[in-house]
């Protein structure tokens, strides 16, 4: 029984060592060993349709994802090792499928975000990219009735996409 705890203790120490050295992260994140700070600017909503909670949810979610997956410290300075800025450029609803009586059966909410990522340590990793995600809903329901659930779902996907592009290099 003691040997199980000893092995667990050794493995835990080994994985912590790998993670702290910047060699490997369980999230798959690849952070420059010298990087300590990140500045995620408020992601402004510049879409024609404005959801009042979207900017804050997206900004806070991205900050939390980066902090929990990389150990970088959020600072409010463009002297940070990584600087992320962006705008929500699209928030739209479209028809996806129609019934046999030419009535919409499924609708789709699409959110598009333009992100600018700058690395002070490795400028070759800088990028500006548009990210877009969608979620479908029953067109017989109003957008107001399903909006919060859809926005939460799309936010999570967008945050993962932005994080992966910035720190997992896909």
Residues 6+ apart with CB under 8 A from 56: 42
Q: Are residues 37 and 103 in the same domain?
A: yes
Q: Are residues 3 and 85 in the same domain?
A: no
Asked which of 3-17, 19-33, 148-162 is least confident by mean pLDDT, the reply is: 3-17
Question: Per the confidence metrics, is the pTM higher than 0.85?
Answer: no
Each residue's pLDDT tens digit, 59-84: 999 999 999 999 999 999 999 999 99
Q: Are residues 19 and 84 in the same domain?
A: no
Q: Give me the torsion for CA of 154, 92, 58, 23, rounded to 10°.
A: 60
Q: How many domains does the chain have?
A: 2
Average pLDDT over residues 30-34: 86
Cα 121 to chain centroid distance, Å, stands at 21
In Å, what is the CA distance from 6 to each residue of 13, 26, 159? 11, 22, 38
Each residue's pLDDT tens digit, 96-134: 876 666 666 899 999 999 999 999 999 999 999 999 999
- With cut-offs at 50, 70 and 90, classify the pLDDT of residue 162: very high
- Bridge partners of 39, per DSSP, are 83
Give the three-state DSSP class for 10.
Answer: helix
**CATH number, domain at 89?**
3.40.50.10610
Q: Are residues 17 and 35 in the same domain?
A: no
Q: List the domain range (segments joined by +) for residue 11.
A: 1-28
Q: What is the distance in angstroms between the CA of the first residue and the CA of the last residue of the chain?
A: 42
Q: Are residues 101 and 120 in the same domain?
A: yes
Q: Cα-atom radius of gyration of the chain, to the nearest Å?
A: 20
Residues 6+ apart with CB under 8 A from 90: 47, 110, 111, 112, 132
């Amino acid at each position: 029984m003691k040997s199980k705890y000893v092995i667990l203790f050794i493995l835990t120490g080994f994985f912590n060592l790998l993670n702290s050295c910047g060699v490997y992260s369980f999230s798959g994140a690849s952070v420059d060993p010298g990087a300590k700070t990140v500045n995620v600017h408020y992601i402004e909503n510049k879409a024609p349709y404005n959801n009042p909670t979207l900017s804050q949810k997206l900004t806070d979610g991205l900050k939390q994802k980066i902090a929990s997956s990389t150990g970088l410290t959020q600072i409010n300075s463009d002297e940070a090792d990584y600087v992320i800025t962006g705008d929500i450029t699209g928030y739209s609803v479209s028809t996806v499928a129609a019934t046999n009586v030419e009535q919409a059966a499924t609708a789709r909410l699409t959110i598009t975000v333009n992100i600018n990522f700058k690395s002070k340590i490795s400028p070759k990793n800088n990028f500006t990219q548009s990210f877009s995600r969608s979620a479908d809903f029953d067109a017989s329901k109003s957008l107001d009735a399903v909006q919060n659930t859809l926005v939460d779902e799309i936010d999570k996907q967008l945050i993962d996409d932005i994080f992966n592009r910035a720190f997992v290099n896909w």
